[in-house]
Structure 1
Amino acid sequence: MLRQYELVDRVLGYDPRADEALINRAYVYAMKKHGSQMRASGDPYFSHPIEVAGILTDLKLDTATIVTAILHDTIEDTGATVDELADLFGVEIANLVDGVTKLTRIELTSERSKQAENFRKFLLAMSNDIRVLLVKLADRLHNMRTLHFIQSAEKRQRIAQETMDIYAPLAGRMGIQEIREELEDLAFKELNPEARETLLKRLNEFSAESGDIVEHIAADLRAKLNAGGLACEVDGRQKRPYSVWRKMERRAISLEQLSDIFGFRIMVDDIPDCYRALGVLHMNWPMVPGRFKDYISTPKNNGYRSIHTTMIGPKQKRVEIQIRTHKMHEVAELGIAAHWLYKEGPSGAERSEEFAGTFSWLRQLIEMLEHGGSPEEFLEHTKLQMFSDQVFCFTPKGTLITLPRGATPIDFAYAVHTEVGDSCVGCKINGRHMPLRSVLVNGDEVEIIRSQAQRPSPAWEAFVITGKARSAIRRSIRSAKEAEFGRLGRQILKGVFEAAGKDASDVVLQRALHSLHKDDLDDLLASVGDGTLSAQQVFETVYPEAPAKKGGRRKLVKSNGAGDQRGVVRITGANHGLAIRMATNSFPLPGERIVGIITPGEGVTIYPIDAPALEEFDGETTRWLDVAWDIDPEHPQFFPARLNVTARNEVGALGHITSLVADYGSNITNLTMTQRDSDFYDMQLDLEVRDFKHLTRIMSALNGISVVSQVMRPRR
């Protein structure tokens, strides 16, 4: 354990202006508060906060952060309060300790929803002062170093998985690579010990076989660069087991196939020297195509800048090389801590160009927080944002947009602006119209085609990558669904009230709000529309003396769509989607008698009145809804339909069938061969038709050609 004077000497060694008295007071206070508390290792508990403070001295952080590290467990584990810390050490330090405490509580529960909610609170605190994260990362690092002392294997696994999922990626996002790599490797040791041991054994064997190959390669690189007139530092190291494992997983190769297990760094004085060094290397050794990246001209979001290249270098070994200035190296190792408070102050750090992307990322996370969604969704989106390599794309005006690898034009649109994503209808990639699900690659120029009439499609969720895009899509869908449920609810209530000869004005409906525990009329209408509240309940609340008419299959079949149309909900082709859906595999069409079934929380599903699937709802009369088509003949629409066709197994038979369907103005959306023998084959045709008559004409025409034996419309 660090002694008091050793900790103070470390801080004064890089920051002579540090408040020595404040550090000493915090040391004594924390020691008294933790008293006789012990850790699982058997060491005094007080050794933990001191070791955390020692880790932060390696990052050369300011006095307030070091004091926060010393005190970070006092609120959680002792009788200390935020007010007491504010009186003794100032409001700034008290707020920092409180922020770290909120994050620590994540570790005290295994319930995912509580973990996600605490993570939201932590990110809010972190957005106000990034030092909260720096302290917590150091706290987690020391806990991982002593993880093996915990007796419970399940608890060790949970802590290690949490480290891999949240803390290591956060360290990477902040650019603190040393902490990230150590956290990953310590978590890997717990989560997959056999793989790690196997890798370590093989790496050690490789090092023994290679001898001093790293130093020989470094010396050759240094000699060539010096001969080129460049003053530089060159160092090499073997990669950590988890880094090697991840590369093997990503490339789906064995360790024997992985030749670049050593990395070399070249540090020079300024940026021009970086490019001169690159020229010297490529003049002397062949580069590996596709393995060059320039993060100096296009830095990563966390401020990281370097040139990466892979060469068949000295000794005919494949080597990865990073070229950077000394300042870039400091940023690469320490990340956002490299220029924190004691150098630039909080506002200066946020304005720093090197870390603009980091703060932009934090602002995007806070924007997702402000727009709602469940805590679990937010945690999912955050993980998506953290686990990502990058591609660099451009707008038509040349603005650089950085995205995670695998991103699509939808991700690009939302990265530009939420409104651009919401109104996206198409895209051009490098001047060519391309599908919205296309995967973007480095250097793509992306033009987003917009329409104000557009709204995000639920199908987009299947192929977007970024948390911002997924969050915005879900938010838009929720908003659209609420609006649709509200419109549907009004139609349903109007139908029920009209069928009973009663008024359904807003003034009348508001009488039911208090009794039904609804905040406002919109809430009431949406609840009726999504089926969580029945229209009959609302009617009987407003008019208790006049019960609403009961529905049900017998009543609707008997009416057969004729006579009194009061109480009927009108269905157009445009209004089915989120609140009104067509029954799967039933394919109701205009011109057929239809019925709606209300499902709580989901809205209304439309069935043909003779669908066998309706039998299961016979005993639930309150779920039946009288509906009818309301299609404008001047503006025909297309609806899905399905046919089962048995045809002769002859040359050209399929061509005859598809040509006939096209001649009748229909489009085949899917064709599946369900059975085939020497004489006949059965197939399933999915079509787009205008109405029941259109489908009937197609069926008659198909039955009239010689290659077709039978045409049937399936009923489910």
Structure 2
Amino acid sequence: MENQWLRNRYSEFYDKAEKRFSQRSLGCIYKAIERAAELLDGMTRYDGSPLLDHSMGTALIVFDEIGLGRNSAVSTILHDVYRMGLIGAEEVSASFGDTPITLLEGMNHISGIETNSSSKQADNFREMIISYSTDPRVILIKLADRLEVMRSLAMFPEPKRRKKSWESMNLYAQIAHKLGLYAIKSELEDLSLRYLEPENYTQISQKLTESEAERMAFIARFLEPIEKKLATTGIKYHIKSRTKSIYSIWRKMRRQGIPFEEVFDLFAIRIIIDCPPEQEKQSCWSVFSIVTDFYIPNPDRMRDWISIPKSNGYESLHTTVVTKDGKWVEIQIRTERMDEVAERGIAAHWRYKGVEQSEAGQEEWLAKLRALMEETDRSHLATRLNTKLSSSEVFVFTPKGDLRKLPEGATVLDFAFDIHSDVGSKCIGARIGEKVVPIKEVLKNGDIVNIITAKNQKPKSDWLSIAKTTKARNRIKVFLREEAAKLARLGREELERKIKNWKLSMGIDEAVGALCKYYKIRNGLDLYGRIATEKLSMGDIKDILGRFADGELFEPKLPAPRTTPTPQKAEEKSHQSETLIIGEAIKGLDYKMARCCNPIFGDEVFGFTTISTGITIHREDCPNAPRLKEMYPYRIIAAKWRSDAPQGAYVASIRVLAEDTTGMVNKLMETITGELKLNIRSLNFTPARDSKISGLINIEVPNTNVVDMVVFRLLKIKGVDKAYRIN
């Protein structure tokens, strides 16, 4: 007789199960529930609720959210009683068949990760991968188990909350991502962040709530022309606006070092089409065409996962477009079927094929899932279980068994700096197993690394070619900058003292100019460093300066400070840090724009420290950037545009190649000055081959978005073959 208490307490489970399963399957599931309820009677969770709540909640996720079948639901319900030894394999097999035994054993393997000490992590990771390759449903059930725990985490003690949150964020969420279970991935990440970074979580959540009305109003305005056009096509669709998860916002803020207000892609708009399978591609591309009729797409952000779906079954068109006021918006275009697969992963893909309930269908589904999981190279230890389940990272261990994640190709030096900056600065090598290796040794998955240090060791410039991680390279650069500044100070003091002792009638700047010209040294900073390290003989320097003072050497011309090439109204005055944030937001710094690349508001930029002209701002894609960063890494300083800075007028140079027809130049000018309301500073066209003209147009623009708009509009003019921004 059915237990009415169970039905009352777990009404949602019963209602959804009866819609999902056949009567035969329901009988098996209900039998498992009543046996588990009997064995767990009187056992409670941390908050006093029945322990059975966990099994039932997990089983509901297993069949309703992930889409697994009867055997998976039964195994989930019996997991706790089987793990605790309250029911044996013989009884499970006799009552429910052999398949649940395989799943239960696999789940027990994975549970070992949470109970063994950190020194056992390597073996546990390996065993886990092997276990889910035997029957991949095991990992899906474990994901459901962890999701139910995270939804109930408030009842757990603080140490368990932090431990389970770390595991969920760094292990389970990433496996969900690999399988295309994006809804579960996002929920695990958000719940984990809630307990690991409660202040940041609350702050972001509150700001999302506060800005929701403004965000919805913008989306409505943005969609208005698209929806009007779609209404005339007969395409059936609906639209979802998806706010970024709190975790992804937090991660972007941390990675880019920006506040919430500077995260511009807070949401994505999803256009979901209702159409037959044979019309899916055509319908998606038709909608894409309509969107790009109204807004300019960024070709670098275009993703076509319809022509070639991801290995986990994900299909969608992604594009990012810019509005007239310079705001970027992400658009995702997919069908109802694609959206279901995107949210629920590969299980939804097979449900749509209608093969789930048949034995042959189950085998096909499991084979696909197993193949997907086995894309992870099992010959390597712990391959990408911390963020992406791919080969882009390696996992190594400290001698105490703590797991460290580093990018593929990371060296002993990277590992040392990952431990601590002081350890990295003093590192001379490491012991891996029984072998002593140098700092340039590339690490492999599973290495146990014991760093060797020396008191007199310090970072050197060639370390930058060894280090791969941003953390290590930044610390090395900081040390080299500090060392260079220290040497420059000592070198300058030494030169000033010698000039005074030699009683030469010249100042320090005049002396530096003469010496730099004679030795062909680029600037005073390098000169001072060579003096401090005794790479230049003071006797030779005395002779050179003496000859210069006597007029025997040509008087050098010190380089005149460069001025910014931009036509801002502030052109005649020196720049202060009202437009750019330089370094750690240092105030009062003078800077100039590099003439070699003409940075514009919105370009990715960096600062380069010079002796004669202060800080020069270059574009990241400046032709000179690679040489500067390689030869003078200690003189590079971070720089970015202030988001709230007033946007002045900058000069952008646009190269155009067009047909040499009557009125072509007038069409170009009318587009720029008439349609776009921009000022042309100069314009020069000359004849080119094949009845073409080639020209350079210098225009005033407030930011790079407007440059993109100009190029886009010029290319729309009939007869224009090429249009692009140049340095």
TM-score, normalised with respect to structure 2: 0.52
Instruction: From the superposition, tell whether residues 331 and 123 of structure 1 become closer, same or farther in structure 2 (CA, over 3 Å).
Output: same
Q: Distance in 1 between the 2:308 and 2:257 partners? A: 28
Q: Secondary structure at the match of 1:382?
A: coil
Contact 1:222 1:232 in 2 (8 A): no
Q: Which residue of 2 aligns with 1:348?
A: 364
1:135 aligns with 2:141: yes
- What residue identity is the alignment partner of 2:40? H
Consecutive unaligned residues in structure 1, runs of 5 or more = 370-377, 389-402, 412-438, 441-455, 464-476, 485-582, 586-645, 659-672, 686-701, 710-716
Distance in 2, Cα, partners of 1:128 & 1:224: 51
Q: State the secondary structure of the residue aligned to 1:235.
A: strand
Distance in 1 of aligned mates of 2:281 and 2:25: 36
What SS does the aligned partner of 1:264 have?
strand
Change (3 A) 1:182 1:653: same
C-alpha displacement of 1:306: 1.1
Q: Distance in 1 between matches of 2:345 and 2:363?
A: 17
Deviation per residue, 1:228-268 (Å, 9 max, x gap) = 34222322233332232223334433222333323222222
- What is the CA–CA distance in structure 2 between the aligned matches of 1:357 and 1:300, rounded to whole Å? 13
8 Å contact from structure 1 (residues 175, 304) kept in 2: yes
1:90 maps onto 2:106 in alignment: no
What is the rounded CA distance, in whole Å, between the counterparts of 2:201 and 2:290 in structure 1?
37
Give the corresponding residue for 2:444: none
**Is 1:358–2:357 an aligned residue pair?**
no
Shift of 1:653: 9.1
Give 1:462 deviation, angstroms: 8.1
Q: Superposed, which structure 2 residues align to 1:647-658 within 5 Å?
A: none
What do the CA deviations read for 1:581-613 (whole angstroms, capped 9, x no partner)? Answer: xx999xxxxxxxxxxxxxxxxxxxxxxxxxxxx
Aligned length, in residue pairs: 441
SS at match of 1:290: helix
Q: Which residue of 2 aligns with 1:196?
A: 201
CA distance in 2, matches of 1:183, 1:257: 25
Q: Determine the structure 1 residue equivalent to 2:386.
A: 383
Measured in 1, the distance between the counterparts of 2:166 and 2:7 equals 29
Amino acid at match of 1:62: G
Q: How far apart are residue 305 of structure 1 and its match? A: 1.9
Compared CA separation, residues 339 and 163, structure 1 to 2 (3 A): same
**Which SS does the other structure have where 1:303 is aligned?**
coil
User: What is the deviation of 1:136?
Assistant: 1.0
- Residue 379 of structure 2 corresponds to 367
Inter-partner Cα distance in structure 1 for 2:326 and 2:432? 60
Aligned counterpart in structure 1 of residue 265 of structure 2, from 260, 282, 302:
260
Give the alignment partner of residue 531 of structure 2, picking from 659, 676, 681.
681
Letter in 2 for 1:368: H
Across the aligned residues of Structure 1 and Structure 2, the Cα RMSD in angstroms comes to 4.8
Pick from 245, 250, 255 the counterpart of residue 250 of structure 2: 245
- Are residues 93 and 218 of structure 1, via their aligned partners in 2, closer, same or farther at CA, if it must alter by over 3 Å? farther
Classify 1:210/1:173 alpha carbon distance in 2 versus 1 (closer, same or farther; 3 Å).
closer
Corresponding residue to 1:275 among 285, 292, 306: 285
Q: Secondary structure at 1:249's aligned position in 2?
A: helix
Task: Tell me the residue number matched to 1:292.
Answer: 302
Unaligned runs of 5+ in 2: 1-5, 351-355, 395-406, 417-429, 438-455, 459-493, 499-510, 544-727
Deviations 1:387-419 (A, max 9, x none): x7xxxxxxxxxxxxxx75xx9xxx9xxxxxxxx
Q: Name the CA distance, whole Å, in 1 between partners of 2:224 and 2:24.
A: 40
Distance 1:284 1:55, change over 3 A: same
**Matched residue type, 2:76:** A
User: What amino acid sits opposite 1:382 in the alignment?
Assistant: L
Taking a change above 3 Å as real, the CA distance of residues 299 and 68 of structure 1, as seen in their structure-2 partners, is same
CA distance 1:383–1:321, change in 2 (3 Å)? same
Structure 1 residue 224 corresponds to structure 2 residue 229: yes
After superposition, the C-alpha distances for 1:134-159 in whole angstroms (9 at most, x for unaligned) are: 11111111111111112x32221111
* Alignment-derived partner of residue 316 in structure 2: 306
Q: Is the 8 A contact 1:145 1:186 kept in 2?
A: yes
CA contact (8 A) 2:136 2:370 kept: no
Q: Which of 65, 73, 97 is residue 72 of structure 2 equivalent to?
A: 65
Correspondence for 2:48: 42
- Residue 126 in structure 1 maps to residue 147 in structure 2: no
2 CA distance for matches of 1:2 and 1:30?
Answer: 14
- CA apart distance, 1:185: 0.8
CA 1:53/1:116 → structure 2, altered by over 3 Å: closer, same or farther?
A: same
State the alpha-carbon separation in 1 of the partners of residues 137 and 172 from structure 2. Answer: 14
| Counterpart contact for 2:317–2:334, Cα < 8 Å | yes
1:305–1:328 Cα contact (<8 Å) kept: yes
Cα distance in 2 for residues equivalent to 1:675 and 1:656: 11
Q: Distance between the aligned counterparts of 2:173 and 2:255, measured in 1?
A: 18
Cα contact 1:56–1:135 (8 A) shared by 2:
yes
Displacement of 1:272 in angstroms is 1.9
Q: Take 2:435 and 2:217, find their aligned partners in 1: how far apart are those partners?
A: 67
Report the AA paired with residue 379 of structure 2: E
Q: TM-score, normalised by structure 1?
A: 0.52
Separation in 2 of the partners of 1:333 and 1:482? 47
Query: Is the 8 Å Cα contact of residues 8 and 20 (structure 1) preserved in structure 2?
Result: no
Give SS of 1:332's match. helix
- Give matches, 1:176-187, under 5 Å: 176-187=181-192
Q: Distance in 1 between matches of 2:322 and 2:69?
A: 43
Q: Does 1:80 align with 2:80?
A: no
Matches of 2:319 and 2:342 in 1, distance apart?
16
- Residue of structure 1 equivalent to 2:620: none
**Distance in 2 separating the partners of 1:189 and 1:480:** 39
- The code of the aligned residue for 2:143 comes to L
Structure 1 residues 99 and 219: CA distance shift in structure 2, 3 A:
farther
* Structure 2: distance between partners of 1:318 and 1:653: 52
